[in-house]
A = this chain, B = another copy of it.
């Protein structure tokens, strides 16, 4: 199974700590070795890194781990290939532009080949994965329903929830999606999150020898939410999403009903 990692924060924050844990699962402590990718946002701008090679060995992953790129939204993915060859164009996360915003998407799970029968209207896949196809369908549905960015965000949340339910009916569909501001986390089988805010404490990664004292890294106003397929630390209280549950984070806080 692939693994997802996401972050939503109210201050530009680096994800080095969480990413170090996730990286180990890409070949050392986990079987997820068929590519990885990560997308950072600085304001509206998207910076993304993709590598079809295992993350535990990847030179690009080493840069990301050591170079604390500060971001308020992050989506990352380590792949264990099911549908589609191992190649750059099949490496999550995937991005497309809608309403002058770069949307980014990553998926954990496998969908029935019926997904390829869903109609595409605006966006078309470059690669051959069920995941990218699902993203192209989802974003096309959003664009058709909302030709401009809506004022009433709850209408958009409800619409995205319905689309995700439809995809979940085709198989396992755990998803992270962002429009550069909000981070949508949709659970099919496995997705957990944790919000760190003051008073901060120490966190210990499950997969590697690393402990971070968040107190030293943060200010009292910081709010940072991390979302992962499987909790990354063994000494904090992660919250698991239920099947079919979608949580939308903005600046680290939940914004949907």
Residues of A within 8 A of B (CB): 42-52, 59-60, 63, 67, 87-91, 96-97, 99-102, 122-127
Contacts and interface: CB of A to CB of B under 8 A. Distances in A.
Given A43-B87, A44-B127, A45-B127, 15 more contacts: A42-B87, A44-B88, A45-B50, A45-B91, A45-B126, A46-B88, A47-B49, A59-B63, A60-B63, A96-B97, A97-B123, A97-B124, A97-B126, A99-B124, A102-B126
B126 A44 contact: yes
Contacts of A45: 50, 52, 87-91, 126-127
A42 B101 CA distance: 26
Contacts of A52: 45
A123 B101 CA distance: 10
Contacts of A88: 42-47
Point out which of A49, A51, A100, A127 has the most chain B C-beta atoms below 10 A from its C-beta.
A100
Given A42-B87, A124-B97, A47 B47 contact: no
Nearest to A94: B97
A60 B50 contact: no
A89 B44 contact: yes
Nearest to A71: B88
A17 B230 CA distance: 43
A179 to B, nearest CB: 11
Contacts of A60: 63, 67
A101 B87 contact: no
Nearest to A122: B122
Contacts of A97: 96, 123-124, 126
